[in-house]
Amino acid sequence: MESQDEKENSPQKAERRFALCYIGWSSLDRRTTLPMLPWLVAEIRRKSEKGDCCPGVQPREVQLVLNPPFIRCVPSSSNNSSVFIFEHKAQLISRFIHNSNDLTYFAYLLRGQPDNPESEMSCHVFRACDPNQVPEVISSIRQLSKSALKEDAKPKQEADEAFYNSQKFEVLYCGKVTVGHKKAPSTLIDDCIDKFRQHETERKHLRLLSGQRGSTESAPDCGFEEPQEFRTRCSSLAGSLQRKPGEGLVMGPTRRRHASAPNHVQPSDADKNRTMLFQVGRFEVNLISPDSKTVVLEKNFKDISSCCQGIKQTDHFGFICRDQSEPGPAQYVCYVFQCASESLVDEVMLTLKQAFTTAAALQSNKTQVQLCEACPMHDLHKLCERIEGELLKLMNLLMQGLSVKLKQDEEGFSFPLYVSRSPGSDQEENELVILHLRQLCETKQKSHLHIGEAPLVNTQKHNSDARELLPLSPHALEASLDPLGLLLPSANDSLSVERPKKTGADYRALWKTAIHQQILLLRMEKENQRLEASRDELHIRKIKLNYQEMGPCSKDAPAMWERKLTAPGRTTLPQDKEEIYRALCQGVPKSRRGEIWLLLSHQHRLHHRLPQRQHAPDTPYHDLLKQLTAQQHSILVDLGRTFPSHQYFSAQLGAGQLSLYNLLKAYSLLDTEVGYCQGISFVAGVLLLHMSEDQAFDMLKFLMYDLGIRRQYRPDMISLQIQMYQLSRLLHDYHRELYNHFEEHEICPSLYAAPWFLTLFASQFPLGFVSRIFDFIFVQGTEVIFKVALCLLSNHEKEIVECDSFESIVDYLKTTLPTLTQAQMEQTIAKVMDMDISKQLHAYEVEYHVLQDEMLDTGPLSDDSDRLDKLEKTNAQLKKQNMDLLEKLQAARQKIQTLETSVENFLSRESKMKHMIRSLEQERAAYQKTIERMRSCLPSDALTDVEMTQIKTGPNGKAKTTAKKP
């Protein structure tokens, strides 16, 4: 049985037909909003009933044919679908209207053609014989539209992901300053840094004088505005980035040093985490805080007027944009950031320039719908919104008062239908009024000048309160800016009853009641916020643990773990290791897994005291988050590759990915020897699914330092080579046939087992199975990885041996083997519980080191037996060859990775050079046009003198001009 979502998302395989009556259609302005649509549908119905429709679209019986991806309207008398009244793509349908008193009627709104920005929207109205048929028709059309949109969006999503994955940078927010000009002088960034330092010095001095550490009076805020103030629409970019070369977006320094000197300085708080992710989108830049998991700054390209880099402080950059938070004359603010290196700043600046150029090119091909509060269509929307749901008689009164007012204000406006046709009802009269109002507003809209395009009365008020609107999503507005709203009588005006005068005691009682209600409201808001936070926390926890558990725990396991988790001294007193292991074998509740891992780590540290030199550095987690990491690119690229199908990590730069970034960044700064290595992200991701960031970081340090897993991530990767040798020896001793099969086809463990060890099986296997492996790793360490690998190979030995080629074996190990069934996972874990290979692993590790020493030893052999000497030499040579091959393979893999990285860098540089060449060509073309215009402006005699002048180069390389002799 398919679910509803699966039905909606499943592609339509066969056409569907519905017998309907096509009433008619009407074109409409692209600024038409939801409250206007019922009146438009009523207008089309009335024309149909009166016979006012066009001859070509009279009401007729039709069949609506849904043939993916098209919707086709054919005559009911025709069986040939190729003969149709009209046809359009299903993905162009934007909205359905089914709110009429007569439920047999419905309509849908059709967007304009995407390849024709000038095309109008249209509304098509139908009538069904049975009102119960309408929901089925609408549902079928909606499913077809969703399927078509999904198919259209696939390549676009891939392009978007490729764009966004390479346009994120970690920066340190330094602060903002108010400047007097939109252009950036060459010394602006350096001046801002000096101002920030002076401000910080004064701040510390004031703290010392006042004796108050962390005083908020001398520490201004970070300077971030509320995110809502930056939620501007991308549709208003048209024209704002279409500037001539050298104008508008200044990527380099200018000579206006006096115009943009820093004025009002607001540095960021050095005591807080100021590291941010600077994301360059298609039409905006976002500043995302990994600490608060929110977008703290969002600026459209049209608001950014200048970008520049520091001269002395070359690892700093900033941009100037309009400050819309203050009313009055335009003010400009410069936001300043610091990067980990100067090269990273160069990359940011180049990315911004490319993004501006791309956005300008994209917007130049689009005609955006503009809408402001003074638009006539917006006034009509507010009128329709206000009278929606009113009684017919009251609405009629409102309309009559409106018509009288309009007759006085509009010279050319009248209601001729009142004379030629007497309306049969109040509803019809209202429909006629709305019809003429719509015609009037559409006519006036064509000649309307939007706010900012021409001087208006009370311009300052309009600019300070203007907001951009999108079709079908208008904003509310003050009554003073609502021309049509002023014509509507208020409810107070309709009542002629005089209110009794209130005494002082009455006002005091009202004030007292208002104060009590306000206090109660504040308490309720706080309680609602607490409940909402608790609900969000439970929701996130539910999303994190959204994976299939490997198997149910025993009946006694939850109670047993509850006793251990609540026992006094559980973090200071060691418990019996055998008892803990027996409890672990009985199962672990998924909801308590994070707490149990914390308990197991505490117990391990109580039983095993590490030498002081092996301890992890004690730098606090939140102090690490305040620093910049040089490995940000590798971490950011791997965020989308870590558990991409899990809901918690799937959202790009969502809470999951930002928490994972924090964890990986902090560890790369803590462990400078390892830094960041591919594979750590999966380990950190599993920890984050079961506990908070702070706890996950502590557990990551436990796995890396206390259990020694960090050795396999070292740059030399010697520990990983030892592990591969140990696994090969285990196969040789316990599964000789499988070992020989691998040797026959030259398959070494590093080809298939390296990801198992580097990610602790998390990159390929089900999460429930991986979490169960982690349970035992916290008790037994890396030995569990060998046991699981050996059990997996032994369980699939028969299938692996049947593979008769190198490619088929590798494919089976990488794709088929990880897809375990529930029974196979339980069988593997059961074998792991009963297996003990600690002695063998220790012996194989000693053997590996002995072999390494023998290969390095070049001294003569002390044995006098020739036979034994030959055998030992042969054995040593074979072992040396084996180890050489392993090392060559590892070196080759590293070289391949290096070459792949180099190829990616070359491709990136090639793309950047292409963008630069394109920009230079555009600039050259602009200069040529300028020269041609200058030539056309010169008189003919002067042009002749210019053409007779030649530019020659002297011996010193300088140009000199000579004139031709006539």
CATH number at residue 571: 1.10.10.2750
In contact, 407 and 369? CB cutoff 8 Å: no
Strands 275-280 vs 284-289: parallel, antiparallel or unpaired: antiparallel
- The sign of the torsion formed by the CA atoms of 859, 865, 867, 872 equals negative
Q: Which residues contact 930 (CB under 8 A, 6 or more apart)?
A: none
Q: Which residues contact 286 (CB under 8 A, 6 or more apart)?
A: 278, 279, 295, 297, 298
Compute the distance between CA of residue 584 and CA of residue 582 in angstroms, rounded to an integer: 5
CATH number at residue 77: 2.30.29.30
Assign 74 a pLDDT band (cuts: 50, 70, 90): confident
Percentage of the chain surpassing pLDDT 70? 75
Strands 168-179 vs 121-127: parallel, antiparallel or unpaired: unpaired
Whole-model pTM: value is 0.59
Q: Using the predicted structure, report yes or no on whether residue 87 has a pLDDT greater than 80.
A: yes
Q: Are residues 175 and 281 in the same domain?
A: yes
604-635 per-position pLDDT tens digit: 998 888 888 888 898 999 999 999 999 999 99
Compute the distance between CA of residue 706 and CA of residue 605 in angstroms, rounded to an integer: 8
Joined tokens for residue 171: 């920066």
Quickly tell me which residue has 């969703």 as its tokens: 146
Last residue of a domain, one of 658, 678, 708: 708
Q: Using the predicted structure, report yes or no on whether residue 601 has a pLDDT greater than 50.
A: yes
Compute the distance between CA of residue 231 and CA of residue 473 in angstroms, rounded to an integer: 14
Q: Are residues 698 and 721 in the same domain?
A: no
Q: How many domains does the chain have?
A: 6
Residue 931 forms part of a structural domain: no
Quickly tell me which residue has 């070992």 as its tokens: 739
Q: Are residues 342 and 193 in the same domain?
A: yes
Q: Are residues 271 and 398 in the same domain?
A: no
Q: Are residues 769 and 691 in the same domain?
A: no
Q: Are residues 270 and 401 in the same domain?
A: no
Compute the distance between CA of residue 271 and CA of residue 863 in angstroms, rounded to an integer: 70
Assign 353 a pLDDT band (cuts: 50, 70, 90): confident
- For all residues of the chain together, what is the average pLDDT? 77
Q: Are residues 61 and 194 in the same domain?
A: no
Compute the distance between CA of residue 946 and CA of residue 537 in angstroms, rounded to an integer: 77
Q: Residue 309: which H helix or E strand, with range?
A: strand 304-309
Q: Using the predicted structure, report yes or no on whether residue 241 has a pLDDT greater than 60.
A: no
Compute the distance between CA of residue 688 and CA of residue 679 in angstroms, rounded to an integer: 15
In contact, 723 and 788? CB cutoff 8 Å: no
Q: Are residues 136 and 52 in the same domain?
A: yes
The b/e string for 923-936 (b: 16+ C-beta within 10 A; e otherwise) is: eeeeeeeeeeeeee
749-764 per-position pLDDT tens digit: 999 999 999 999 999 9
CB count in 10 Å sphere of residue 1: 3
Q: Are residues 727 and 838 in the same domain?
A: yes
Q: Helix or strand or coil: residue 116? A: coil
Burial bucket for residue 173 (CB in 10 Å: 0-12, 13-18, 19+): buried
The b/e string for 758-796 (b: 16+ C-beta within 10 A; e otherwise) is: bbbbbbbbbbbbbbbbbbbbbbbbbbbbbbbbbbbbbbb
* pLDDT at site 676: 93
Residue 211 forms part of a structural domain: no
625-682 per-position pLDDT tens digit: 999 999 999 999 899 899 999 999 988 888 999 999 999 999 999 999 999 998 999 9
Last residue of a domain, one of 677, 708, 739: 708
Q: Are residues 356 and 338 in the same domain?
A: yes
In contact, 355 and 317? CB cutoff 8 Å: no
In contact, 706 and 782? CB cutoff 8 Å: no
* pLDDT at site 246: 32
CATH number at residue 667: 1.10.8.270
Compute the distance between CA of residue 314 and CA of residue 337 in angstroms, rounded to an integer: 11
Residue 924 forms part of a structural domain: no
368 or 285: which leads in pLDDT: 285
* pLDDT at site 471: 38
Q: Are residues 357 and 392 in the same domain?
A: no
Q: Helix or strand or coil: residue 198? A: helix
Nearest to 646 by CA among 551, 547, 548, 549: 547
Q: Helix or strand or coil: residue 377? A: helix
CB count in 10 Å sphere of residue 144: 25
Residue 895 forms part of a structural domain: no
Cα separation values, 889 from 719, 731, 851, 876, 884, Å:
15, 20, 18, 20, 8
Q: Are residues 323 and 388 in the same domain?
A: no
Nearest to 306 by CA among 316, 315, 318: 318
Domain of 593 in residue numbering reads as 548-609
Instruction: Kindly state the greatest CA–CA separation across the chain.
Output: 130
Compute the distance between CA of residue 701 and CA of residue 880 in angstroms, rounded to an integer: 36
Q: Using the predicted structure, report yes or no on whether residue 684 has a pLDDT greater than 90.
A: yes
Residue 431 forms part of a structural domain: yes
Last residue of a domain, one of 855, 890, 917: 855
Our CA angle for 258, 260, 266, nearest 5°, is 130
Residue 702 forms part of a structural domain: yes
* pLDDT at site 766: 93
3-14 per-position pLDDT tens digit: 444 443 444 446
Residue 481 forms part of a structural domain: no
* pLDDT at site 464: 36
Burial bucket for residue 13 (CB in 10 Å: 0-12, 13-18, 19+): exposed
Q: What is the mean pLDDT of the segment spanning 26-34?
A: 79
Name 307's bridge partners: 319
Joined tokens for residue 199: 């401000």
Q: What is the mean pLDDT of the segment spanning 220-238?
A: 36
697-711 per-position pLDDT tens digit: 999 999 999 999 999
CATH number at residue 738: 1.10.472.80
Residue 351 forms part of a structural domain: yes
Range in 472-486, 537-551, 704-718 with the lowest mean pLDDT: 472-486
